[in-house]
Amino acid sequence: MIGEDEVKKIALLSHLNLEEGESVSLANELNSILGYVDKLQKLDTTSVEPTSHVHGSKNIMRPDVTSPSMPTELALSNTPELSGRFIKVPIIIEQNGEN
Amino acid sequence: MTDVTSLSIAEINSGLVSKSFSSRELTQAYLERIEKLKSLNCYIEVCGESALKAADECDQMIKSGRRLPLLGVPIAIKDVITTKGIRTTCASKMLKDFIPPYDATAIIKMRENGGFVLGKTNMDEFAMGSSTENSFFGASRNPWDTARVPGGSSGGSAVAVAAALAPASLGSDTGGSVRQPASYCNVVGLKPTYGRISRYGLIAYASSLDQIGIFSRTVADCALLAQSLFGHDPLDSTSVEMAIPDLSKEIKRGIKGLKIGIPKEYLIEGVSKEVLQSVQDALSTLTQLGAEIVDISLPHTEYALACYYILALAEASSNLARYDGIRYGYRSPQARDLKQLYSLSRSEGFGKEVKRRIMVGTYALSAGYYDAYYKRAQQARTLIAQDFRSAFSEQCDVIACPTAPTTAFRIGEQSSDPVQMYLNDIFTVPVNLAGLPGISIPCGFDSQGLPVGLQLIGKPWDEGTLLRAANAYESSTDWHKRFPEV
């Protein structure tokens, strides 16, 4: 069972803010989902290899050659705030050196 | 002239070539019908102007003698597939103004084969849902009963084909999102083998499970589209170089001696009696056509849904980390620093179900829980895939079962209980976990007049046999010819 505090921690990890009282309802919903998926604990998985990719293919390489890419202007055409060719964001480091 | 909006692609092809109508007239007829049936809310955006322009170009090509499999055919596209210059929203506030600077490979291939975009269809936000109720643009409605859901997440694409608002459409299927709405709406819905259609430009939900799928009125149309879209793409390293048979020829070969497996684990509680009856009748039809029914067992079936929801949500939490308000997508105007920009943009931009899934996925991947949830689910996936492998290698060529445990439910009926909603996918998720091709075809109606779908599951890369079985059934039944009165 996960409680309100754990929900708040998961929200923080997910970069999501919770509204007033939402941690209680989310704890209930998450517990109901986790309660359902808990049946996997019954399964004997000793010496079973995990599957991350169904066809088992890995490390697909292409020749290391340059090719034309998308023009910068087009690539930035959906960016909310630009300053010339640069993406604008709010301050990252506080001026007093904290954060 | 019969109403052109009721024609299959095969019929459209011959109508265009014989000049019974032009692609412009066909497109115009669709645009008028879309306007008339706006209340079904199956399109997020209708591309009237660009579609008519493309239709004119196709008409010119037809005049000059060009022949292509989809030439002059307007196609509806689920709004999770990027279309260059056409807004692609994933039915989310997060991407409500997003105009992709590139086309998905599936779109390029569709265009190369003569098709063009008629509009972008409604869906559950980021393909997370089984009802198309979780859309920023409002719920879509089932044309067989407008108080009911069309299924999801590709509900809009299913409705478009079912209500004659497009001759065919593309969707995406992560755990049943093409097959389940196809079943609820009485159309054909194919999810190909994982790796058959490039995922380049398919906005990611759960990358190891996502696959672009096809909605059509007939199995022959589905084969035509599949032939156009299948193939390796260097831009998607999970797409696979595999021979593609001539599907349109392949589907006509009949099913004498075909072994159809019926998994005993699929006769679970909660499956509607009427759905089971329709599927039972369909099996009798298939037997009469020469198929042999064999009982099989897929012993790990009961773990499939739990396994799916851990893997899909874990992958989703990682995939959706890219929506941070920086490079594209919604940016909160309230943020005072970078951290707030991330969390406010995500909190304001994502809907409730998306947030719920991100949180469950984050939890399953977080320190201390990874082995208990994520790794264990990956191991369960191995066992589930093995079940299918042994059934296919020893006992059968195709597996049959209901597509969904019930027919379409009422709008709002299941939205308060996420687990109940997830149970709609119980027959479809194992197919994605094993990377297999699956198809839903119309196989009857319940006493309320709601469609029932039969799911057929094939061996990896064997869409040929899968479509052949589907076509044999369709050729001896009339379910697919029924249209809803809307």
In this predicted model, which residue has the larger pLDDT, B319 or B269?
Answer: B319
Instruction: Tell me: pLDDT of B1 over 50.
Output: no
pLDDT, residue A99, reads: 45
Average per-residue pLDDT for chain B? 96
Distance from CA of A76 to the nearest CA of B (A): 7
Average pLDDT over residues B51-79: 97
What is the arrangement of strands in the sheet containing B451-458, beginning at the earlier edge strand? B43-46, B116-121, B74-78, B168-173, B211-216, B188-191, B438-445, B451-458, B398-402, B259-263, B292-296
- ipTM comes to 0.92
Q: Tell me the C-alpha distance between B44 and B42, whole Å.
A: 7
pLDDT at B323 > cutoff 70: yes
- In this predicted structure, the answer to whether residue A93 has a pLDDT above a threshold of 80 is no
Chain A residues within an 8 Å CB radius of B422? 33, 36
* CB-based contact A40 B341, cutoff 8 Å: no
- Asked if the Cβ–Cβ distance from B324 to A15 is below 8 Å, we say yes
Residue A80 C-alpha, separation from nearest chain B C-alpha, in angstroms: 6
Residue B40, domain member (yes or no): yes
Beta strands in B41-199 (DSSP E): 43-46, 74-78, 116-121, 168-173, 188-191
Domain extents in chain A: 4-42
Beta-strand relationship, B398-402 and B451-458: antiparallel
Q: What is residue A59's predicted lDDT score, i.e. its pLDDT?
A: 81
Does residue B363 belong to any structural domain of this protein?
A: no
Q: Is B50 a catalytic residue?
A: no
The total domain count for chain B is: 1
pLDDT above 60: residue A98: no
- For residue B458, give its domain range: 4-253+438-481
Res. B291: pLDDT tops 90: yes
B78 in active site: yes
The predicted-structure confidence for B450-462, as pLDDT tens digits, reads as follows 999 999 999 999 9
Please check whether residue B420 lies inside any domain of the structure: no
Model confidence pLDDT, tens digit, residues A28-87 = 989 998 999 999 999 999 999 999 888 877 788 888 999 999 999 999 999 999 999 999
Residues 3-62 of A with CB under 8 A from B: 6-7, 10-11, 13-17, 26, 29-30, 32-34, 36-41, 43, 45, 48-55, 57, 60, 62
B418: nearest CB among A33, A45, A80? A33
Is there a domain that residue B157 lies in? yes
User: Does residue A74 belong to the interface with chain B, where contact is any CB pair within 8 Å?
Assistant: yes
* pLDDT per residue as tens digits for the range B204-235: 999 999 999 999 999 999 999 999 999 999 99
Q: What is the mean pLDDT of residues B359-365?
A: 95
In a domain, B84, yes or no: yes
Distance from the B88 Cα atom to the nearest Cα atom in chain A, whole angstroms: 12
Of B153, B154, B183, B216, the catalytic one is B153
Task: Please answer yes or no on whether B101 and A75 come within 8 Å at the CB atom.
Answer: yes
The proportion of chain B whose per-residue pLDDT surpasses 90, expressed as a percent, equals 94
